A and B are shown apart, each in its own frame.
Chain A
Amino acid sequence: MTGYLFGFLALAALVMAYAGFRRGRNAAAGATAKVHSRPIYHGLNAAIWTGIPAFVFLLLWLLFQDGVIDLLVMASYPGADAMSGPERALLISEIRQVASGNIFREPTPEVTAAVAHLRHLQSLASWAMVAVVAAIAAVGAFLGLRAIESRFRARHSVERSVTWFMLFSSLVAILTTAGIVLSLLYEALQFFAKVPLAEFLFGLRWEPQIALRADQVAGQGAFGMVPVLFGTFVISALAMAVAVPTGILSAIYLTEYASERFRAAVKPLLEILAGIPTIVYGFFAVLTVAPLMRALGISLGINAAPNSALAAGAVMGIMLIPFISSLSDDAFAAVPRAMREGSFALGATKGETIRKVLLPAALPGIVGGVLLALSRAVGETMIVVMAAGLIAKITLNPFDAVTTVTVQIVTLLIGDSEFDNPKTLAAFALGLVLFIVTLGLNLIALRTVRKYRERY
């Protein structure tokens, strides 16, 4: 029904656009004074008046409908005032389940009554929604059409609406950031109400099990994030160990040694590595690289885990090669020609020029690129979800399995999740840590790059 309502609004706006266009044209035809706007603007104005207020109202209605209905149902439920928050939430979800036909046990008479009330309110609400939205659209259409006359500045009106839409659109970026920060903070604070902040930050054990029964042994779990963070940095360091030398060396070759044709052929091929979805790398790491690494470890006499940090790190490093390569490429290109030619004029070979002149001059840019790549590695999810381990462990052995922040976030939240146990909330606390770490890395990287740019 809601879908039809959206369709109806779009159709009404279209019809009004045509009606406004016709009317604007007629007004212009009979006008004696100077006409301000072309008919199409009259039409657009009428369409905006018809569609936009009703559309916004419909969105707000849909947003608040369920909450209001819940409140009304609970207000009429006997004894609901005395209930605690979780009890109320449980009751509401039971009523909703019964109302949608999923009955697990015979509902109590109170619940049956509440279900009837809920159904009544729901049908009332949906009809009220249709009526109110249609009324708003009709009023808008009436006002929009009435305004049309030869002197009406329809174009100004339309342009004002467009400007408002553009301003709102550019605020979406701020709203998104605010949404991320607020939702992470809100859930993380709830988590810290159950698990002390100090334990989370400095605890050395990460065992996010929850008790099914209150008296279960070792049921509380441990939420110390140090091993998780440690594992993240082990895998990221392995990835950087692969990506940084390969990326910088390939950038050196492509910018300084390669012919134009070789560069034109190879650079897009390298970029393909960055365009492959990370889940593909993850599957490849599990299918091919992990068994190889295990065999390598065993041949070296090390007891290698099947999901070793090395496999995930190496594959992640390869994913990051084009990233570092293209950023170093930019850094080399930004070194002034005079420095390069000055070095050649002194008799230095290409290799000496690169090592003694270009590399030091481009270093800040390269460091910035490496930091950006590191922030990618820390936030990368699918490769580690598929190829890294689940058990948090503090070890530097690359053949051992470690876990990462992103792996824990995904495994804690996969499947159905309720927002009231520390296990789910822990994921948001980890998400907050991840957000802060990557944001910090990005800011440092951008600052390094910018500082460098100012020098030449």
Chain B
Amino acid sequence: MADMSIATGPVGTIGGPVDWKSDAMNARRKARYAADRRLQAYGMIAIAFALGFLAILIATLVYTGSTAFTQTMVRIDLDLSKADIDRDKLMDANWRAIFREAALAELGEELPRAAERDYFSMYTSSAAFLIRDQIIANPALLDGPATFVVPVSDPIDQLAKGLVQTDLPENQRRVNDRQIGYFEQLRASGAITQPFNWALFVNSDSRFPELAGLAGAISGSFWLLLVCFLISFPVGIAAAIYLEEFAPKNRLTDLIEININNLAAVPSVVFGLLGLAVFLGWFGLPRSAPLVGGMVLALMTLPTIIIVTRAALTSVPASIREAALGVGASKHEMIFHHVLPLAMPSILTGTIIGLAQALGETAPLLLIGMNAFITSPPAGVLEASTALPTQIYIWADSPERGFVARTSAAILVLLGFLVLMNGIAIFLRQRFERRW
């Protein structure tokens, strides 16, 4: 027992007994515990920093993006029965002039030139064509007074949402006092509404924020992922089965393994260069086409799928393989009838996560020209199109004020798709994945 109390330490003589309850020892212990708590606090701060950033990121996007989910519309009553329109050639009429005259007639007063310009710049510049499209869909609107609802232009939309600082001097804002006056009149008469912005999902890209939508980008992303899936899923599974079950251990398979691991870490922009030089340059495939983008994304997703599939295949117990072989199945039958179906939930989970990564990938798509200005959704994999991330890039670069909110809204839509895909993956994992 006496030996136990003999210890060496900075306090007390070497070899002599230590008074553990001395003030010096207490202070030392306190300092040591304080150091421990400090480290713990640093860890907390680090986590709080990372999560706080995540919260600020999401909150900022929701805050700036939420305004884009509604669109200020204006109701306008027009009597087009007397207008100069040939009913057999509705497309050919001079709709701008017709709209202008009908709107002025409705206003009931002659406006000076500047005032007239201010008045009409409150409507989206495509108002006449939106009215045309409604009339082509329903020619009966020409018979008498009719009501049309069109979006207001971007500055007025900002004004309606309270994003214009009206106390600034007139020449420092994009809405002048006269327009504010008109707008207040319209609002007082109940002509202004702010419904949900369906155009965001129905329209394709446009130079005008009030008309720009994501339909083209969403369908482009759909085609991209379809091509990516159709290539990377079968090829990835086949490669994984070969490497896991059939490949002899030789230098070729070693080389393949090293390659797969390296490809997983190659920067995405390099894949874009590959697509540009090989698919566009040497094979002569069309620029901006979802086919090319999907092929590039498939090459990027392939390592993920191969790695996931190999892990899933090895986790199937040997007893199942042996049972299959024991009742006379060939090796192929053993794999395709028994092992692969059992591994499929994990493979699907990994594939969906891989596709979710591919959905957010931007840089390679920029290099193969998927940032073009395209105003209609692509009808197939060979037509020029944009994708959700490249559309975000285009809008983020656009100077109009309304595109800031729309960029955030597009990001929210993209994040929504990612959450959905990851949710499906988690569901599959929890519902179907078996642990042996």
Contact = CB atoms under 8 A, between A and B. Distances in A.
A and B pair up:
yes
Nearest to B37: A351
B36 A414 contact: no
A279 B256 contact: no
A427 B418 CA distance: 31
Interface stretch (A123-131, A192-200, A242-250): A242-250
A413 B277 CA distance: 11
Contacts of A414: 366-367, 371
A246 B242 CA distance: 41
Contact of B273 (A283, A354, A431): A431
Given A166-B238, A174-B256, A372-B265, A351 B38 contact: yes
Contact of B36 (A66, A165, A254, A352): A352
B49 A246 contact: yes
B236 interface: yes
A40 to B, nearest CB: 11
A146 to B, nearest CB: 24
A173 B259 contact: yes
B393 A279 contact: yes
Nearest to A372: B265
Contacts of B303: 173
A266 interface: yes
A432 B236 CA distance: 26
B261 to A, nearest CB: 7
Contacts of A417: 276
B262 A351 contact: no
Interface in B268-323: 268-274, 276-278, 281-284, 299, 302-303, 306
A283 B54 contact: no
Contact count band on B: 35 or more
B246 A250 contact: no
Nearest to B255: A174
Interface in A337-393: 349-352, 354-355, 372, 375-376, 378-382, 385-386
A257 interface: yes
Interface residues of A, number: 90
Interface in A280-300: 280-284, 286-288
A407 B392 CA distance: 17
A124 to B, nearest CB: 19
A162 interface: yes
Interface string A210-241: 00000000000000000000000000000000
A379 B236 CA distance: 24
Nearest to B356: A275
B47 A170 contact: no
A287 B47 contact: no
Main secondary structure of the interface of A (DSSP, over half): helix
Interface stretch (A14-22, A75-83, A110-118, A433-441): A433-441
B18 interface: no
A349 B36 contact: yes
Given A159-B330, A277-B362, A435-B270, A266 B47 contact: yes
A419 B44 CA distance: 52
A294 B315 CA distance: 52
A413 B49 contact: no
Nearest to B60: A288
B163 interface: no
A146 B272 CA distance: 47
Given A246-B46, A279-B389, A349-B35, A166 B361 contact: no
Given A174-B259, A176-B302, A438-B266, A385 B363 contact: yes
B361 A277 contact: yes
B283 A431 contact: no
Interface string B341-366: 00000000000000011011111001
B241 interface: yes
Interface stretch (A24-32, A132-140, A180-188, A301-309): A180-188
Nearest to B382: A3
Contacts of A174: 255-256, 259
A428 B46 contact: no
Contact of A269 (B39, B51, B259): B51
B39 A379 contact: no
A279 B276 contact: no
B178 interface: no
B60 A431 contact: no
Given A177-B263, A279-B393, A166 B51 contact: no
Contacts of B47: 250, 253-254, 266, 270
Contacts of B271: 180
A162 B43 CA distance: 52
Given A174-B259, A382-B393, 19 more contacts: A67-B284, A170-B256, A172-B239, A172-B302, A173-B239, A173-B259, A174-B255, A184-B273, A187-B277, A275-B356, A275-B422, A277-B389, A280-B57, A288-B56, A350-B40, A385-B363, A410-B366, A434-B269, A438-B267
For the complex of A and B, 3 pairs with smallest distance between CB atoms: A379-B267, A253-B43, A277-B360
Interface of B: 32-33, 35-40, 42-47, 49-51, 53-54, 56-57, 60-61, 64, 234-236, 238-239, 241-243, 246-247, 253, 255-256, 259-263, 265-274, 276-278, 281-284, 299, 302-303, 306, 330, 332, 356-357, 359-363, 366-367, 369, 371, 380, 389, 392-393, 396, 404, 407-408, 411, 414-415, 418, 422
26 contacts: A67-B284, A159-B332, A173-B263, A176-B263, A177-B259, A179-B274, A180-B274, A183-B278, A187-B277, A247-B46, A250-B47, A252-B43, A253-B44, A270-B47, A273-B50, A279-B411, A280-B61, A280-B360, A280-B392, A286-B396, A318-B53, A321-B50, A350-B40, A381-B269, A414-B367, A438-B266
